[in-house]
Amino acid sequence: MPSPIHRGAAACALLAAAATVSAPAVADDDPYSLPWQLRPAAAGTAVRADAAFAGYDNAKGASGGFTVAPTLVGSYKIPGTGDGWTGLAPLLKLAAVNDSPPTGSGGFAIVNPLVGATYAMSLPAGVRASFFLGATIPIGMGGGDTPSAGVTDARSAGQYARSQMDDSLFAVDDFALIPGVDVAWVASGFTVQAEATLFQLWRVRGSGINPATKSAPDPDATKTNFTSGVHVGYFVIPLLSFGVDLRYQRWLAAPLAIQKAASSFIDNWTMAIGPRLHVPLGAGIKIHPGLAYAQGIDNPMNSPFNYRIVQLDVPVTF
């Protein structure tokens, strides 16, 4: 017959086994829900094409404005810097905009590219963190002191079509330094992610004063912007997830044009919601097409502009 010591040891072993079964360790390969316009909390080799299709009214209430603002992002994870989704990945982001306003001729512009890198790391209990540092290259169309009105209006429309989360790309006269951080909890099919990003801009093209009209359309030597957001996603099945973004943008040191406008132009809240597929293509390649509906929660995107946005997002991971 087992001694009390042996019986106690066996009971402890059974309790430990039961605890292990009831509270399994979080798997490192739990599915991750990609946000709509926040950065992925991951470092990987990927190509991501997305486009925002935005309908809007102008400041006088005329309807029928339409903006298309696409972006293309490519990233490459440096081998040996991490396993799975962790590590260091440089990236390049390109963007353009085409705008057809309710009145006037509109315009098209290829705006500033962005270069940067993401470093992602794993933390305990299913938490991951990623750190971003990027900079824009001020070579976009419509820069200098005498830009065409159509291109200038298109760049402004592009900022709103992208929910003002990519403003620095459309500030073609400015060099921007962009640090940011993301923290995500990923477990049991859920993703909950928070992001914060600072944008410090310095004008490096033109004087900010139009020599013909003597007006100062862009007199600001520096600007400071801040964006943040929360993403919540859930995998219904491995091939299908749903996700929602809640995003906030605020000028900490606003351009003069923003300062002269209504106070509602200093900041804005936006949201986006929609489904996303996750389709393996073989050889470790997966495509994640998604379609989201986005709109402003407050002014000015609600009033006077009445923005309604559809985002088509097609990331491919390798």
Query: What total number of domains does the chain contain?
Result: 1
Q: What are phi and psi of 38, to 5 degrees?
A: -90, 165
3-state DSSP call for residue 168?
helix
Q: Which residue has the higher pLDDT, 105 or 120?
A: 120
Enter the DSSP assignment of 61: S
Question: What tokens appear for 160 in the block?
Answer: 């709103």
pLDDT of res. 149: 86
Does residue 1 lie within any of the structural domains? no
Angle at 308 between CA 192 and CA 159, to 5 degrees: 80
pLDDT of res. 213: 56
Confidence at 146, pLDDT banded by 50, 70, 90: confident
Say how far apart CA 293 and CA 285 lie, in whole Å. Answer: 27
Say how far apart CA 249 and CA 196 lie, in whole Å. Answer: 10
Those residues whose C-beta lies under 8 Å from the C-beta of residue 80, and which sit 6 or more positions away, are none
Question: What tokens appear for 127 in the block?
Answer: 């938490």
Q: Is the pLDDT of residue 17 over 80?
A: no
Domain of 244, CATH number, reads 2.40.160.40
Beta bridge mates, 110? 96
pLDDT of res. 212: 56
Does residue 233 lie within any of the structural domains? yes
Does residue 8 lie within any of the structural domains? no
Does residue 18 lie within any of the structural domains? no
Contact, 297 vs 156, CB < 8 A?
no
Tell me the per-residue pLDDT of 134-143, one tens digit each, with 9 for 90 and over.
Answer: 999 999 998 8
Those residues whose C-beta lies under 8 Å from the C-beta of residue 15, and which sit 6 or more positions away, are none
Q: Are strands 285-287 and 308-317 parallel, antiparallel or unpaired?
A: antiparallel
The structure's pTM equals: 0.87
Amino acid present at 105: S
Instruction: Choose the weakest-confidence range: 233-237, 260-264, 272-276, 289-293.
Output: 260-264
Contact, 38 vs 195, CB < 8 A?
yes
pLDDT of res. 6: 45
Contact, 313 vs 292, CB < 8 A?
yes
Q: Where are the alpha helices (DSSP H) in 177-279?
A: 256-260
Question: What tokens appear for 44 in the block?
Answer: 């990987």
- Find the helix or strand (DSSP H, E) in which 45 lies: none
| Top-confidence range, 29-38, 69-78, 149-158 | 69-78
Amino acid present at 204: V
Confidence at 145, pLDDT banded by 50, 70, 90: confident
Contact, 232 vs 239, CB < 8 A?
no
> Whole-number mean pLDDT of the chain?
89
Does residue 7 lie within any of the structural domains? no
Q: Is the pLDDT of residue 25 over 60?
A: no
Tell me the per-residue pLDDT of 170-197, one tens digit each, with 9 for 90 and over.
Answer: 999 999 999 999 999 999 999 999 999 9
Residue 244's domain comprises 31-317
Q: Is the pLDDT of residue 273 over 90?
A: yes
Say how far apart CA 71 and CA 92 lie, in whole Å. Answer: 10
Q: Count Cα neighbours of 184 within 13 Å in the Cβ-side half-sphere.
A: 32
Q: How much of the chain exceeds pLDDT 70, in percent? A: 87
Q: Is the pLDDT of residue 1 over 50?
A: no
Amino acid present at 61: G
